[in-house]
Chains A and B, each alone.
Chain A
């Protein structure tokens, strides 16, 4: 493979990885607060639809983008009600959210299939895009990709250096101690769920407003599940999530490019690659689990303090 094909491949990897990155970061915030949310896929697709509809009617993709985040929070708030108010099983509730989200979005979105809405288009960042190799790979995208670059450092700072971030982690590691220290664990968990849902919604909107400017049923195509797997791969660290998301993006972009190059491998096998990688990543991460970065109270409900 020549260099002329590698740079576009990596640029495409960044683009394919961006929706997964948003969703993975969202799930990291949620899980750091101690709540397991398997409904990423549902929150993403509801966000994708909300973003598309708002952008189509207002003509403003920026409004659509924010609407997608709010819709994502709204979707995950269902998970919050079940798990935080009613102490429901987090796994079951998350699965229900996936199914509900997909069904609801496909139902409400039927009349929008095949229509297009105003969205974000790529623009090159002055100066940065002229850097050889890195410029075309990282700085010739749409604004949503640039925003996604800013989120991981902010999240790292948030978790390590802010009082609120430390409180959120305490809620996920040892809720009893956090409560004893006078923290409102439920409030932190609500924040984790809603902020996480906001990012998942943005990830969905990336698909309907930037990657394409179209809506279709099942637009997210399993990317939410890849995000759930990536959280484990990333050891709950935002920085590693970037790596994981772009790794998946590059595999997705690679399989189409291998076909375009005229390889004789059957396309069915190439299409399996991202999913084979998902399984591989999960096996590898559980094998290396010695580090044990998982929030200790992940998936464990806490009783509201009466």
Chain B
């Protein structure tokens, strides 16, 4: 009897063990720089997180509004100590803190967004959003009547400058007379300033407003004035339904699920990834009803070309002074794109 009972207990506990082993879930953590909200940069990352959450055997958690620097190191370290298997940090300023933690936890996969440093267990990744900006430029260039497009922009750093250039080249590809006027707000998320920036562009004759900010402030300004606008980060049409034509958007789901799947199988290796339209990481938000079918067709054709390998920054490309920066027939290298600090011809504004 006693033996039987011992056996039963042993079998039960063995059974429990296997059950708990099967239920051992992968833990994936995300660190965001701003609150998630309804739209914007961190919101787009969180949509990607939800795709990971939907995978079998994976749980996710996130921390929002983490300031860059020392605070982020504490958050990332905390996740590492709690035994997370994969950690995504989604802002530039998390780069060094993450690298520091990555060295202490060699078995954890670390992924840093928008930076350039790597380690054996730390990837960096970003998306070629400029490809989607080029497409949105085609829409703006086709729809403008005054041939002046306003662009409310955050900070004069290569990421933003590259986007403005791609947007301008897109607009010029359908409308060579177009000029793009740039106003720097020096803010990522300050709806009041960003709205005012868009209004100042409207006052100098812009009739399409594009933006590189995290808030829908510029969209509000465009809607109030009754002109069209191009959003950013995520579909902002809810904020300005009459004005929002489309937006370059992030679609992190495919990349995040791919990485988590690789870590699960043990095939993941640190890399420097810069996926784009082809991989589905960046895209355009659905067109508003005001965008005519022929414009939509043109954009879709260009999109197919870019997916097929067409390079946007192919020479001859001149800067504002007319100097040839990218020679005819040559495509800019990724290194040149990542360090871009000059405006193409047709942009009105300074990069300082």
Listed in ascending order, the chain A residues whose CB lies under 8 Å from chain B are 5, 8-9, 12, 16, 110-111, 113-116, 121-122, 207, 211-214, 216-219, 221, 252-253, 256-257, 259-262, 264-268, 271
Q: Is the CB of B224 within 8 A of A122?
A: yes
Segment of B48-56, B96-104, B189-197, B271-279 in the binding face: B189-197
Distance A259 CA – B37 CA, assembled complex (angstroms): 30
The interface on chain B, measured as residues whose beta carbon lies within 8 A of the other chain's beta carbons, has a size of: 42
New contact pairs (19) apart from A115-B38, A116-B216, CB-CB < 8 Å: A8-B199, A12-B203, A16-B196, A110-B65, A113-B37, A114-B34, A122-B224, A211-B192, A214-B191, A221-B192, A256-B183, A259-B183, A259-B197, A260-B181, A260-B183, A260-B204, A261-B204, A267-B156, A271-B184
Which residues of the partner chain A approach B200 to less than 8 Å between Cβ atoms? Answer: 12, 253, 256-257, 259-260
Q: Is the CB of A262 within 8 A of B349?
A: yes
Give the shortest distance, in Å, between B182 (CB) and chain A (any CB): 7
Which residues of the partner chain B approach A12 to less than 8 Å between Cβ atoms? Answer: 196, 199-200, 203
Also in contact, A111 and B35, with CB within 8 A (given A216-B190, A260-B204): yes
Give the shortest distance, in Å, between A297 (CB) and chain B (any CB): 36
Q: Is the CB of B195 within 8 A of A212?
A: yes
Closest A residue to B221 by CB, please name it: A212
Closest B residue to A254 by CB, please name it: B200
B26 at the interface (CB under 8 A from A): no
B256 at the interface (CB under 8 A from A): no
| A-B CB contacts (within 8 Å), total count | 106
Give the shortest distance, in Å, between B264 (CB) and chain A (any CB): 32
B326 at the interface (CB under 8 A from A): no
B352 at the interface (CB under 8 A from A): yes
Give the shortest distance, in Å, between A123 (CB) and chain B (any CB): 11
Closest B residue to A223 by CB, please name it: B192
Give the shortest distance, in Å, between B234 (CB) and chain A (any CB): 10
Distance A8 CA – B203 CA, assembled complex (angstroms): 7
Give the shortest distance, in Å, between A25 (CB) and chain B (any CB): 20
Q: Is the CB of B181 within 8 A of A214?
A: no
Give the shortest distance, in Å, between B201 (CB) and chain A (any CB): 5
Distance A70 CA – B200 CA, assembled complex (angstroms): 34
Cβ contacts A to B, 27 pairs, < 8 Å: A8-B199, A9-B203, A12-B203, A111-B35, A113-B189, A114-B34, A114-B36, A114-B38, A114-B43, A115-B37, A211-B192, A211-B195, A212-B191, A212-B195, A214-B217, A221-B193, A256-B185, A256-B199, A256-B200, A257-B203, A260-B197, A260-B206, A262-B181, A262-B349, A265-B350, A267-B183, A267-B350
Distance A253 CA – B202 CA, assembled complex (angstroms): 13
Q: Is the CB of A121 within 8 A of B224?
A: yes
Give the shortest distance, in Å, between A269 (CB) and chain B (any CB): 9
Which of B39, B195, B350 has the largest count of A CB atoms less than 10 A from its CB?
B350
Distance A211 CA – B220 CA, assembled complex (angstroms): 10
Distance A221 CA – B224 CA, assembled complex (angstroms): 23
Distance A268 CA – B200 CA, assembled complex (angstroms): 17
B268 at the interface (CB under 8 A from A): no
Q: Is the CB of A257 within 8 A of B65?
A: no
Which residues of the partner chain B approach A113 to less than 8 Å between Cβ atoms? Answer: 34-35, 37, 189
Which residues of the partner chain A approach B193 to less than 8 Å between Cβ atoms? Answer: 221, 256
Closest A residue to B182 by CB, please name it: A259
B141 at the interface (CB under 8 A from A): no
Which residues of the partner chain B approach A5 to less than 8 Å between Cβ atoms? Answer: 203-204
A214's partner among B197, B215, B350 (CB-CB below 8 A) is B215
Give the shortest distance, in Å, between B102 (CB) and chain A (any CB): 28
Q: Is the CB of A207 within 8 A of B192?
A: yes
Which residues of the partner chain A approach B197 to less than 8 Å between Cβ atoms? Answer: 256, 259-260
B190's partner among A9, A111, A221, A267 (CB-CB below 8 A) is A221
Give the shortest distance, in Å, between B64 (CB) and chain A (any CB): 8
Which residues of the partner chain B approach A253 to less than 8 Å between Cβ atoms? Answer: 196, 200
Which residues of the partner chain A approach B348 to less than 8 Å between Cβ atoms? Answer: 262
Closest A residue to B204 by CB, please name it: A260
Give the shortest distance, in Å, between B82 (CB) and chain A (any CB): 22
Which residues of the partner chain B approach A212 to less than 8 Å between Cβ atoms? Answer: 191-192, 195, 217, 220
Distance A266 CA – B224 CA, assembled complex (angstroms): 29
Q: Is the CB of B215 within 8 A of A216?
A: yes
Which residues of the partner chain A approach B35 to less than 8 Å between Cβ atoms? Answer: 110-111, 113-114
Give the shortest distance, in Å, between B173 (CB) and chain A (any CB): 22
Q: Is the CB of A260 within 8 A of B352?
A: no
Closest B residue to A122 by CB, please name it: B224
Give the shortest distance, in Å, between B36 (CB) and chain A (any CB): 7
Give the shortest distance, in Å, between B47 (CB) and chain A (any CB): 13
Which residues of the partner chain B approach A211 to less than 8 Å between Cβ atoms? Answer: 192, 195
